[in-house]
Amino acid sequence: MYQIPFTSKNAEDAFKAALVKVDANLVPFREKFPDDTTYKNVYYPRKDRNGEMTGANIGWTTSFWTGILWLAYEWTKDEKYREVAQVQVDNFITRMETASDVDHHDLGFLYSITCIADYKLNGSQKSRDGAILAAETLMKRFWEKPGIIQAWGRMDDPKQRGRAIIDSLMNLPLLYWASLETGNPRYAVAALRHATQLQRYQVRPDATTYHTFYFNTETGEADHGETAQGFADDSCWARGQAWAMYGFPLSYIYTRRESFLKTATALTDYFLAHTPSDRVAYWDLAFGDGSGEEKDSSASAIAVCGMLELAKYLPAQKAASYRQQALEILKSLVDNYSTRDHPESNALLLHSVYSKPGKHGVDEACLWGDYFYMEALMRVMNPSWRLYW
């Protein structure tokens, strides 16, 4: 364990160092969006489906750059961040209105930290309406019989029909929020059913998680778990575990179901027991020091945010332990994984893994890792920070 504490001043110094990179990206990524991951630690405009460099607002990760801009604006009050974020939020509203690449479960990722953030920070009714439309669109993927939101593919695709994904826990706040805003309970009812089903079936008895799980949409019965990005179907993909560590506390905020805290605590304890000597996880928790496998700094950044949120609702001793261990992980990320001493990179957090099985974004920076790194720093700088989720 680190003997030197990680303070709000340390977090602010790291945040300011990250802003140097953000500032350099304001012009190239004003109307274009970075790709999911870097290439040799440098972000380029994201490729469209034809392989051309366009920077289009497609895929599930574009919002993380916009979310970084909102965090930068919220802390500094510098209009240059708000101005670029607003350009991008307008793009997200258009994306939803034209139904451009919105037929998947990731709409919470896309609209919570863009449009909802804008609404919370600036009171934008246009952004509020765009986010509600996103919630309505996400509801089209809800299967009533099993009570789950299908992750990918057409609803009649036999390979994807009834497939839920652990990442989706982070998308549920969009639905809970929509019920609060509209007074219509159907969004929150679907979100709670989905969270409960994932809690029951995707969390294993040993407090590990399946990446994805299939449900029978005709009978509602649970079928089997399967991975897409983990080492094996029965291993524990680190980022999936981190999504759940953060996602269940988010459902607790909106539902006050104590069981979500119990589940999140068990998941967190497993994650911490399988973190290596430098406190930053390997891409699958099956691996440890000496394995020769890559780290996933993004999983640890997500985990820090989840631990700091979870600690708010736990007894004092457990909460203090989680806060301390979260700060140890964050200190390691700042000291050993940030780009503050890497002028050649326009990213914020190095050494993540998008998909090892897919050989995509292996030992690169990624947009979500950068965002959750910034959110983690914000949480330390401002413990009363109002979540975008």
Instruction: Mark out the alpha helices in the chain (DSSP H runs).
Output: 8-25, 62-76, 79-97, 107-111, 117-122, 125-139, 172-182, 186-201, 238-255, 258-273, 297-310, 316-332, 367-381
User: Which residues have C-beta within 8 Å of that of residue 124, sequence separation ≥ 6?
Assistant: 89, 115, 118
CA–CA dist 315, 297 (Å, integer): 28
Q: Which residues pair with 34 in a beta bridge?
A: 45
Taking CA atoms, 304 is separated from 109, 272, 323, in Å, by 18, 11, 9
Q: Are 329 and 261 in contact (CB under 8 A)?
A: no
Q: Residues 38, 43, 44, 48: what is their CA dihedral angle, to the nearest 10 degrees?
A: 50
Question: Which tokens hold the place of 118?
Answer: 């804008």
Catalytically active residues are 106, 167
- Asked if residues 72 and 83 have their Cβ atoms less than 8 Å apart, the reply is no
Distance of CA 352 to the CA centre of its chain: 14
